[in-house]
Amino acid sequence: MKKIRLGKTGLMVTELGFGGIPIMQLETNDAAEMVRYCFDRGVTFFDTANMYMDSEGKIGQALEGVRDQVIIATKSTERSKERAAGHIANSLKQLRTDYIDLFQFHNLSEESDLETVLAPGGAMEAAMEAKGKGHIRHIGFSAHNKDTALKVVQTGLFETIQFPFNFVETQALEALYPAALEKDMGIIAMKPLGGGMLERADLCFKFLQQHPQVIPIPGVSNKEEFDQIMALYETPQPLTDQDRQDMERIREQLGDSFCRRCGYCLPCPQGVMIREAQMFPAIMKRMTPGQTVAFLKSVIATVDECIECGECEEKCPYNLPIVEMIRRHAEGFRELEASLG
């Protein structure tokens, strides 16, 4: 498979990477087999995160024997030096390795996240110390909010950016990706399939292939899904007029029901975790019912605090009917919870 230079990290990564979310729902050995299957078919770039439950451990098990042939990226949501150092140590253990190729600060989506990470005693100190010891080779970040992400890019302190990118979520093309490229950062596309919400893989990857400097890391949980994507890389197909029309139609259909997780609606004066509650349909597709309930229980509880003040809907750039959506998700969540008995 073709390899692409991941910006100034100098790492050469396969043009198609592997996202570590969906393997959470697989049994350990099945997950490791899935990871290994992708490696055997040519993928050598694997992305996971400390918060993806046992994903790191499964990837570690699968790749232990071929560590020198793969690039492993992980992430931590911790913002303090002490806690981030704990996460790094745990990632090394779970991944069964003595170095992480790319360590990313997970979801720097609010300016306060960036400030805390960079402040004395912040997580950047832990990352720099780990880098000094050779436990981390490169440092990047992920985010969902383009304005905050642009500020993070402009610090010049990060070597890669991971941001949602698919044919429905294209906002990074305006200013964010050009700024990142100017700083010679590596660009990783999270949610190339819209977090499981876009069903036409052919359209998704034909679109992404128009942007070869952006490395997609689709999450796959079965071989057929992976083979379908892989075929689009083995025999790339041009975007046709029909494809463009189909993409436009899907964009329009999803326009008023697709949360981009940008966080512009926040903060909610009642403390409703809007962005996380909006993730319910995508999480349900990516996790088992039990995992979904465990993951979102405390989030969905905040939806009950909504007083329908409408502040969030005024701020949402996509004019989403947020109140109706989060109430519907809460209802779906409770049905799912009840089905578990």
- 3-state SS assignment for residue 160: strand
Residue 275 interacts with ligand SF4 (CB under 6 A): yes or no: yes
Measured from the CB atom, the residue of 199 and 324 that comes closer to ligand SF4 is 324
Smallest separation (angstroms) from ligand SF4 to the CB of 319: 8
CA atoms within 13 A on the CB side of 64: 13
Measured from the CB atom, the residue of 99 and 318 that comes closer to ligand SF4 is 318
Give the C-alpha separation, 131 to 30, whole Å.
33
Touching ligand SF4, residues 221-260 (CB under 6 A): 259-260
Give the C-alpha separation, 94 to 44, whole Å.
18
Give the C-alpha separation, 46 to 56, whole Å.
10
Measured from the CB atom, the residue of 74 and 278 that comes closer to ligand SF4 is 278
Smallest separation (angstroms) from ligand SF4 to the CB of 308: 5
Give the C-alpha separation, 76 to 96, whole Å.
17
Burial 125-156, CB ≥16 within 10 A → b, else e: bbbeebbeeebbbbbbbbbbbbebbbebbeee
Give the C-alpha separation, 231 to 229, whole Å.
5
Residue 283 interacts with ligand SF4 (CB under 6 A): yes or no: no
Touching ligand SF4, residues 161-190 (CB under 6 A): none
Q: Which stretch binds ligand SF4 (CB under 6 A): 3-11, 105-113, 189-197, 265-273?
A: 265-273
Q: Which residues contact 293 (CB under 8 A, 6 or more apart)?
A: 333, 336, 337, 340
Return the bridge partners of 19, or none.
47, 219
Q: Which two tokens stand for residue 93?
A: 């253990």
Smallest separation (angstroms) from ligand SF4 to the CB of 256: 11
Site mask, ligand SF4, residues 298-327, x = CB under 6 A? --------xxxxxxx---x-x-x-xx----
Residue 262 interacts with ligand SF4 (CB under 6 A): yes or no: yes
Q: Which of 261, 281, 296, 300 binds ligand SF4 (CB under 6 A)?
A: 261
For residues 317 and 301, the answer to whether their CB atoms sit within 8 Å is no
Measured from the CB atom, the residue of 181 and 266 that comes closer to ligand SF4 is 266
Smallest separation (angstroms) from ligand SF4 to the CB of 53: 23
Residue 264 interacts with ligand SF4 (CB under 6 A): yes or no: yes
Interacting residues toward ligand SF4 by CB under 6 A: 259-265, 268-270, 272, 274-275, 278, 306-312, 316, 318, 320, 322-323
